[in-house]
Structure 1
Amino acid sequence: MRSRRWRAVTVAFAFSAIATVSAGALEPYEVVGDAIPRPLGGFRGEVARGDAIVRDRERGNCLICHQGADPAEPFQGSIGPPLTGTGTRLDAGQIRLRLVDASRLNPDTVMPPYFRTEGLHDVASQYRGKPALSAQEIEDVVAYLASLKTP
């Protein structure tokens, strides 16, 4: 009996490990394990633009929860992991999934989904149906965070 249940769980995981998501008008992406291996919309990220988005207190607002790579940046958070060394800990696909929708990995996360529009609550009317970041902006942030290696 126990082996049958284990086999059912294993089969269910195998089917859920690769999932193609079509997010309405958003660029579709494929989740493989704990990553989105291919860039959204085929865009190539730019490190400098990603750094600017991470520091931007309105657009990305990453530093409200994370400590950034620049200690001189004021008012940095401590809720999420520090951004320094992200590129050592995670590959680009893993970073991408965490930005797109970290709740796919941890349903209890406080990390907001930056590329999901459905199932959200308390969204101001002017932002409804729009992702927090565009596919290009996601790729820019991925490029920046992937560049943050620990020596």
Structure 2
Amino acid sequence: MARAFLHIAALIAAGVALACGARADELVRYKIIGDTIPEPLTGSPADPARGRALVVARTTTCILCHSGPFPEARFQGDLAPDLTGTGNWWSAGQLRLRLVDASRYNPQTIMPSYYRNDGLVRVGRNFAGKPILSAAEIEDIVAFLVTLRN
């Protein structure tokens, strides 16, 4: 069963990279403190509306595994936690680290590392060394997720 989930995760990660046209930009340096990346990856303000659009878009695969308060999305996943109330449970820094590299929290996770380019397996040749999402996209998604409160 665990092997099947790892296979699914590899397929999802490959699909995300293909659909998003993985970013060739260089990764911004960040510092992990405890269970957070406390500082934003960009110096510009994040846009929660763009973040919501990214979460709901099939190209980022968020709603293939997660569900949430997205009435317009007909098919939502149930493999991962519901995103409703996410802003109640985790800080922006904790969410940022989960998006950048979810394997820091759970080495067996099927969630792709959206802002990593090293130490990954089964990455297509055209996408090796590139993050799935840009720093600005990570920040937009974080800005949206912290608004999800009960």
TM range, smaller chain? 0.7 to 0.9
User: For residues 23-42 of structure 1, what are the structure 2 equivalents within 5 Å?
Assistant: 25-42=26-43
Q: Is there any run of 5+ residues in structure 1 with no aligned partner, and where?
A: 1-23
Q: Distance in 2 between matches of 1:141 and 1:65?
A: 16
For residues 96-149 of structure 1, the C-alpha deviation after alignment (integer angstroms, 9 at most, x for no partner) is 000000111211111110000111122222222110100000000000001111
User: For residues 2-151 of structure 1, what are the structure 2 equivalents within 5 Å?
Assistant: 25-58=26-59, 60-150=60-150
| Kept in 2: contact 1:35–1:93 (CA 8 A) | yes
Q: Distance in 1 between matches of 2:43 and 2:33?
A: 17
More moved, 38-47 vs 131-140: 38-47
Q: Distance in 1 between matches of 2:126 and 2:57?
A: 20
For residues 67-92 of structure 1, the C-alpha deviation after alignment (integer angstroms, 9 at most, x for no partner) is 02113412110111111100011110
Q: Distance in 1 between matches of 2:63 and 2:106?
A: 20
Q: How many residues align?
A: 126
| Kept in 1: contact 2:48–2:143 (CA 8 A) | yes
Report the equivalent of 1:11.
none
Q: Distance in 2 between matches of 1:43 and 1:26?
A: 16
Question: Percent identity between the aligned chains?
Answer: 52
Greater C-alpha radius of gyration: 1
| Kept in 2: contact 1:28–1:41 (CA 8 A) | no
Q: Distance in 2 between matches of 1:136 and 1:41?
A: 6
Q: TM-score, normalised by structure 2?
A: 0.79
Moved over 4 A (4+): none
Q: Is there any run of 5+ residues in structure 2 with no aligned partner, and where?
A: 1-24
RMSD of Structure 2 on Structure 1 (CA): 1.5
Indicate the SS of the match to 2:123.
Answer: coil
